[in-house]
């Protein structure tokens, strides 16, 4: 989305747009490119999460088809059938158009004991849920709405990082390096999610990055906060002053 600078700003500023896409020119206006950011200090941080042998996955959203939670549920069913070594529970918090289908899918696949629907949560109840989860599930169905690889910057992965959660995605994101250790990028397709891969992903992090939650928060403060995102705009304003 391009955000033209207008209103009471000087005429020189009206010649520049602030753009969250990768377009360099929109409606004849050159853009300052950036990606989505989050107000990190306003996002609750969970410095440590107890692990009792059960891996808790968190899906927190206004649930739509592009979140791809159905892929996780189908993967949970496969993992259960294969008798995976680690107990895994998928917590889904939120409402949305795709929620009824997810509940029906859980019933069909007989994994009601592995997927928990919490409904809309906020405040202390939301914090209590987040305080027991280990891995965030971001969008796994962006391909369903024809979003190109590397051309998206959803808020959810940024919010997870700010809260200290390693996360799973189905797309490439400019803000996270290809070798970012706290992000698991899975194929953008209609296949069930490989739950064993998520278990392995978290086990590796727990073993090699015991302070990963603080590392994620620091990364978010330095790279994902809106204060950082606006730096290109501030630089432009200084040059034009």
Does residue 148 surpass a pLDDT of 80? Answer: no
Instruction: Report the percentage of the chain scoring pLDDT > 90.
Output: 68
Does residue 7 surpass a pLDDT of 80? Answer: no
Rounded (10°) angle between helices 69-81 and 99-109? 10
Label residue 37 by pLDDT band (50, 70, 90): confident
Q: What is the mean pLDDT of the chain?
A: 86
Residue 104 corresponds to which tokens in the numbers above?
Answer: 């029906």
CA distance linking residue 164 with residue 48, whole number of Å: 9
Mean pLDDT value of segment 63-68: 96
CA distance linking residue 222 with residue 40, whole number of Å: 10
Mean pLDDT value of segment 153-165: 92
Question: Tell me, which fold does domain 45-223 have in CATH?
Answer: Rossmann fold (3.40.50)
Q: Tell me the pTM.
A: 0.83
Does residue 76 surpass a pLDDT of 80? Answer: yes
Tens digits of residue pLDDT in 92-138: 999 999 999 999 999 999 999 999 999 999 999 999 999 999 999 99
- What is the pLDDT, as a whole number, of residue 226? 74
Residues with Cβ within 8 Å of 111's Cβ and at least 6 positions away in sequence, in order, are 73, 76, 77, 80
Residue 123 corresponds to which tokens in the numbers above?
Answer: 């405040």
The residue with greater pLDDT, 22 or 111, is 111
Does residue 199 surpass a pLDDT of 70? Answer: yes
Does residue 19 surpass a pLDDT of 60? Answer: no
Mean pLDDT value of segment 33-38: 71
Q: For the chain, which residues make up each domain, given as ranges?
A: 2-41+224-240, 45-223
CA distance linking residue 70 with residue 138, whole number of Å: 12
- What is the pLDDT, as a whole number, of residue 174? 83
- What is the pLDDT, as a whole number, of residue 9? 40
Other Cβ atoms less than 10 A from the Cβ of 32: the count is: 18
Label residue 3 by pLDDT band (50, 70, 90): very low
């Amino acid at each position: 989305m391009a955000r033209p600078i207008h209103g009471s700003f000087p005429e020189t500023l009206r010649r520049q747009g602030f753009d969250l896409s990768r377009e360099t020119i929109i409606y004849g206006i050159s853009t300052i490119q950036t990606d989505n950011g989050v107000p990190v200090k306003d996002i609750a941080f969970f410095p440590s999460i107890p692990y009792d042998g059960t891996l808790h996955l968190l899906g927190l959203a206004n649930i739509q088809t592009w979140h791809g939670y159905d892929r996780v549920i189908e993967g949970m069913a496969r993992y259960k059938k294969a008798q995976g070594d680690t107990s895994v529970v998928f917590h889904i918090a939120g409402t949305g158009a795709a929620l009824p289908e997810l509940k029906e899918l859980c019933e069909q696949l007989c994994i009601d004991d592995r997927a928990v629907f919490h409904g809309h949560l906020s405040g202390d109840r939301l914090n209590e849920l987040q305080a027991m989860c280990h891995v965030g599930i971001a969008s796994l169905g962006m391909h369903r709405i024809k979003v190109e690889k590397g051309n998206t910057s959803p808020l959810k992965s940024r919010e997870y990082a700010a809260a200290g959660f390693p996360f799973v995605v189905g797309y490439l994101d400019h803000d996270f390096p290809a070798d970012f250790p706290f992000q698991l990028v899975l194929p953008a397709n209609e296949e069930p999610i490989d739950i064993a891969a998520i278990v392995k992903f978290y086990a590796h992090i727990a073993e090699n990055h015991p302070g990963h939650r603080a590392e994620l928060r620091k990364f978010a403060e330095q790279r994902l906060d809106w204060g950082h995102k606006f730096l290109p705009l501030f630089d432009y304003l200084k040059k034009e002053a």
